[in-house]
Amino acid sequence: MGVAVTLDFNATILDDSLAKYTLFFDATIYSTVADLVITAVSGATGTFDSSGANLPYSGLPMDGGGTYVRVTGKTGGDEAMNGLYQVTAIASASQWSVTRVDGATIVTTGSSSCSIDENPIDSPDAIIVEDDTPVDVTGTDPSDDVVFTFDYSGNTQGGRTASEDAYVQARCIGQSGAQYTQTTVQTIPNTAVTIPVSSNIERNFQLD
| pTM for this prediction | 0.90
Q: Answer whether 2-27+127-197 and 29-118 agree in fold.
A: no
CB 149 within 8 A of CB 23: no
Q: Give kind and range of the element (H or E) at residue 14.
A: helix 11-14
Residue 67 CA: distances (Å) to CA of 40, 86, 92, 154: 19, 6, 15, 24
Residue 203: predicted pLDDT: 57
pLDDT, averaged across the chain: 92
Lowest-pLDDT choice from 109-113, 175-179, 195-199: 175-179
CB 9 within 8 A of CB 17: no
Q: Where are the domains of the chain?
A: 2-27+127-197, 29-118
- What CATH number belongs to 29-118? 2.40.30.20
Residue-wise pLDDT for 32-60, tens only, equals 999 999 999 999 999 999 999 999 976 67
One CATH from 2.60.120, 3.30.450, 2.40.10, 2.60.40 for 2-27+127-197:
2.60.40
